[in-house]
Chains A and B, each alone.
Chain A
């Protein structure tokens, strides 16, 4: 278990600033997700950690060692890529063994380690297959086993689930978390999928335009967003004009309460749509005072209302953040 830290990392590609003064430290054994839209700099940060890119400024440290300019093949890091990265000419077992051979581990130890890793990702029977004979999910599991086989000090995951279908994605996501917790490997996970980040991270770093907007636990990021960008990017949000001042109020659908009694809550409106989503239903209400639609999450059995009904809504006390104009 080792910590990894980025201090004042800046990286530009031509005139484009990919990272602007990134400061981030991962504690030993911690899983931190970098979450953000395309082009926010999260993958650049990961590639800098891996040694595929050299920052213009700043220091990357592994434990107490400055590795900013250490060549990629001399850093003891495991990485799982977004696209399928298994070597097509090697079998599953040979793929997992590749890093161990590079480290000149003797054959008996190599074989036993390959066996352990394939068992860990539950693919013990597929060692002799070639990558093209595996499904996408199996390929990514092999890639994970290959990355972990070398006992990396840090595991880097570059959107490893994005090419998979929803069901496989959810299963593999939980498996990654199980294995990471079991091995206590410090892990940097890059994703643009907030559900993934919220589900498996110890902490989440939300990025925008090369900057870290907020770094905190999933609860912090979701319930106490540090900026309107974080509020909008993580989870869904209602944007209401601030009737008591300038700017807007940003409030999550589950932080809005609804009553079928038109006079009970502060804002009146008309139901325009009801979408059943299993445990919750999403009720869209056009609010009279601001003539704007807001979505309300209500437990499925709790509120009985239909399109055209008159209702009243209110922001739950202490919820929502005000965005200045």
Chain B
């Protein structure tokens, strides 16, 4: 920001924010207009900017026979992905933190790989194993492990930073010393204190699972993103209306996430160092 201020003067940062906002918002506004304003592009003018807006079209995709099925499947896969992610990731991250802290760098590197290697490369791998694993790939739920891998860069970081924020070893030792076995230590001590991290990881997983297109398309799964794509070709305006709706839903989820993380109860669970000084 200091560099921007030097180059563009006092209003530099504002200009940057404005340009960036236009860059992101303009296509979205164009998409929204295309979906909800019943005027062809060539007939547009400033005088007609507020004419013929109709939101009734948003209900049209709901009438499509595949809408509910694809959305239901996507939610099912999202929930499965979240469950598998948390089930695998929380014990693994705890194990790494407690038993092999030196391996943390390696694990971090491995979890970044899905971010570095594009989904299409994963798909190429799936094509290779497809003839040998039809029993698995034929199931709609076969997307769950792939999405778990795709979400790893986000989810591992969320859980890892949650674990770094608590005094994990001391809490585990204290719990065990008080007679709690591993299961009880996990359920009563670690998981409640990772609440924020788990909520973050879950929302991020759900966002990945609800928005992934490439793998679902290659494996011919009728999840929500391939449905939007296909529906948009059939019904361009309603298709884009659906895309806008899906975007708003994602924004809503992230809004919910930030509210959940800022709630007073969450704050009360944090052991703020400041409060410790009040002796």
Contacts and interface: CB of A to CB of B under 8 A. Distances in A.
A138 B276 CA distance: 9
A168 B277 CA distance: 12
A174 to B, nearest CB: 16
Interface residues of B, number: 29
Contact of B178 (A83, A98, A134, A164): A98
A276 interface: no
A137 interface: yes
B192 to A, nearest CB: 4
Contact of B179 (A86, A89, A150): A150
A136 B174 contact: no
Given A81-B173, A98-B175, A150-B179, A87 B276 contact: no
Which has the most chain A C-beta neighbours within 10 Å: B171, B175, B176, B177? B177
B277 A136 contact: yes
Contacts of A51: 176-177
Contact of B171 (A85, A99, A164, A168): A85
B277 to A, nearest CB: 7
A248 B276 CA distance: 46
B178 A85 contact: no
Contact of B193 (A89, A133, A134): A89
A130 B268 contact: yes
B269 A99 contact: no
A89 B174 CA distance: 14
B275 interface: yes
B170 interface: yes
A299 B182 CA distance: 58
B111 to A, nearest CB: 26
B263 interface: no
Given A84-B167, A135-B279, A168-B279, A102 B180 contact: yes
A88 B166 CA distance: 9
Nearest to B278: A135
Given A73-B178, A156-B177, 13 more contacts: A71-B176, A73-B181, A83-B170, A84-B271, A84-B276, A85-B167, A85-B170, A85-B171, A87-B174, A87-B175, A87-B189, A89-B195, A135-B279
